[in-house]
Structure formats: C-alpha cells, structure tokens
Amino acid sequence: MAVPHDSHETSYLLPPNSKDWEGRGIPDFVYGQEELVLEGIQWPRVAPGLPEDSVPPSRFDSVLCSAWRQRVELGLFRYRLGELQTQTLPGAVGFVAQLNVERGAQRRRPQSISSVKQAFDPALFNFTKIRPGEVLFRLLREPHLPGALQQEDILVMINVSPLEWGHVLLVPEPTRGLPQRLLPGALRAGVEAVLLSSHPGFRVGFNSLGGLASVNHLHLHGYYLAHRLPVEGAPSEPLDPGGHLHLLQAVPAPGFLFYTSGPGPDLEALIGRVCRATDYLTDREIAHNLFVTRGAPPGKTSPSSALTGVRVILWARKSSFGVKEGEAFNVALCELAGHLPVKTSQDFSSLTEAAALALIQDCLLPPAQAEEVQAALVALMAQDEQ
C-alpha cells in the first residue's frame, strides 16, 4: 500500500522487535512532479553539515535520514560512522579527502569479476540475501508523471559499509536478477533522487563491472557530502553540434558531460543518451563510472557557479578487477568526481594533489583508445539528430 504524501516519517521506521521486520512489508515513498526541486538549491556560505540541517529539508531527506539513523541505532551497519576527518587538498583541483578507516578494513570483499558483461550469478551475494531491516523504502513515481514508459520498482536500502552519512543503494527490483549494467529506469531514479533532495551535496553514482563495482547486481549509490566537488562547476567544451555531449575539463580526469535543466522531455532525452553511451562501453568491454550531481550548465563555468541543473558525468577507464591493496584510495565514481575516501591515517596525513592525480590518471584509458571512444560517442549523439 502506498504511503500518503503527508504521512509522518515514522511510517518508514522499523518496529522495535526484530522478529516483526520480516512481515512488515516495505513502505512506499511515492513522489510527484512538484517534489522534483530544480531551482533555489545552492551552497550556503557556511557548509550545510548533516542533511537534516538543510533549510528546509525535503520530505525525501527527512524520510531517508530518519530511517537511516534508526538503522545506525539498531546496529545494522558493519561499523558506526562517526564524523569523518575531512580536508581539502591544497592545489588547483580542490580534492575533498576523508579518512574512513573502517570502510577500508570492514567492507565486503569484492566478487570475482572477469568481464564488464558478466552475467548475474544467483549463487553469489546479491541484494535478495540482505536482512529485511536494511531496506528503507520503495521509491515510486506517481503513475501520471510524464516521460516514464515503465514504472520501475526501486528499493532504497542502506549500504552497510557507508562512505558517508546517508549512504544508500538504489536497487531495481532485486528478484529480477539484473547484472550491473546501467538501465534507463535505474538512471532515471538516480537523477530524480538528486532532484528530490534539497541538500546540494546529495549525489548519486554508478560503477560498472571492472569499474570497481563490488557486487554484480544492478545498483546505484546515493550519499550526502557537505562539500562542493570540482565536477559541479568545471568548464567544458561541446563535442557535438547538437550540444548534447561535452568534454569536462579542469577536473581530476576528462569526462563526458551530459546536462539537463529539469524534469520532463529534456531529462528523458538525457537518460536515453547516457544509456546508449554506457551500452556502447559495456558491449566493448570498456569499464566506466558515472556521477550525478546538481551543477552548472556546460561551458565556461567556475567552481562557484550556480547549481541550475543536473550534471551527469561519464568516465571510460581501464578495467580493474579486484581491489588494489596498499593504495591510499581506490578509483571509482566518487574519486573521479574529486571525493577521496582514504583508508589509513598515514595516507590521509601525507596525501598530496599530485599523488592523488597520479593514482587517478593511472586508471584512465590510453590516449589513442580515449580518442576512439570519444569519436564513437559523438557519432552516437549524431544519430539522435537524424
């Protein structure tokens, strides 16, 4: 049964007795077009802190954070996330580094992956095997929202090894057994989750197989980070005549930028373009990472530019199967965006911008292959114009 829009947030909390969790059912978070907030979300002069400190927090923020906090108190995470030690690395990029020792030590070991196109294996860990209390709610669009040809059933669940406050996974109906390959319905849910939050630092991302996805079961990440990131206002140059694809510049790694000014036909067109690009990469065994954030329009922007729309950034990269031990951080969706969760105190105190850039650039495609991918994606965008 759908939870009414004005329902109290306690509808999303677990019963006190864990024996009652199994039969409780999953509450629905049903949202309408009016809750997709585009205008008026900006970084305040003082960092906003926890999501509840947003003025005012959206219904989405209130529900997610209250349910997430309860799961912390119930001990459903692998570790209790405290306030993370954070620093902005000196230099031109503006890396935001955070010390997260527990995630480095206690997260689930990545599955054995050998292909970007690897099939789903029900025998391995997947999101049908989690504890009932880990699911916060089902994210549902109102049926009459424009553009959606098919209603996706998206479960929002805690990431038991959180990167930051409010770290959740967005999982299309787990029983479908979908491999970690981006689909339009999942991307739409991710972009709309960003628009449902009134916190400028709620971001969503996707790691492909070979791009450090640790579970081969379709999921996106969402989390709060109360800091600007380089990708929000970095300048870009257009790559196609239609202006649908841009090359992001002056960030840790060159990325393909897609931009939408809001929900409706423009957003639906963006979702189609992005998924055609990720399909191209997956079919050719090219690993990739994707990051969704509020940001400035393409062009000659600056780090302080207004957050007038949503940026979707796609990076093609070398495949990396397994986690590299001994590195200060592993390069995936948040690191490419400029957020560096560091594993040890020693690395956190000694990390420099130059060392971070070297780690990231070591994961990028060779120049000749990068140019080939760029030309192919430009050609894909041209097909949209025909």
Looking from the CA of 63 toward its CB, the CA atoms found within 13 Å total: 27
Distance linking the first and last C-alpha atoms of the chain: 44
The residue type at 284:
R
What DSSP element (H or E) covers 192? helix 184-196
Cα gap 355→329, rounded to integer Å: 11
- Taking the C-alpha atoms of residue 307 and residue 44, their distance in angstroms, rounded to an integer, is 12
Other beta carbons within 10 angstroms of residue 248's beta carbon come to 22
28 to 15, 139, 319: CA distances (angstroms)? 16, 6, 37
Nearest to 127 by CA among 59, 50, 216, 66: 216
246 annotated active-site: no
Q: Which of 217, 219, 246, 339 is catalytic?
A: 219
Contacts of 82 (CB under 8 A, 6+ apart): none
- Whole-angstrom Cα distance, residue 231 to residue 312? 10
Q: How many CB atoms lie within 10 A of CB 274?
A: 24
Rg (CA), the chain: 20
Q: Containing H/E element for 207?
A: strand 202-207
Tokens of 138: 């089902």
Rounded Cα gap, residues 114 and 209, in angstroms:
8
AA letter at 157: M
Q: Which residues are catalytic?
A: 219
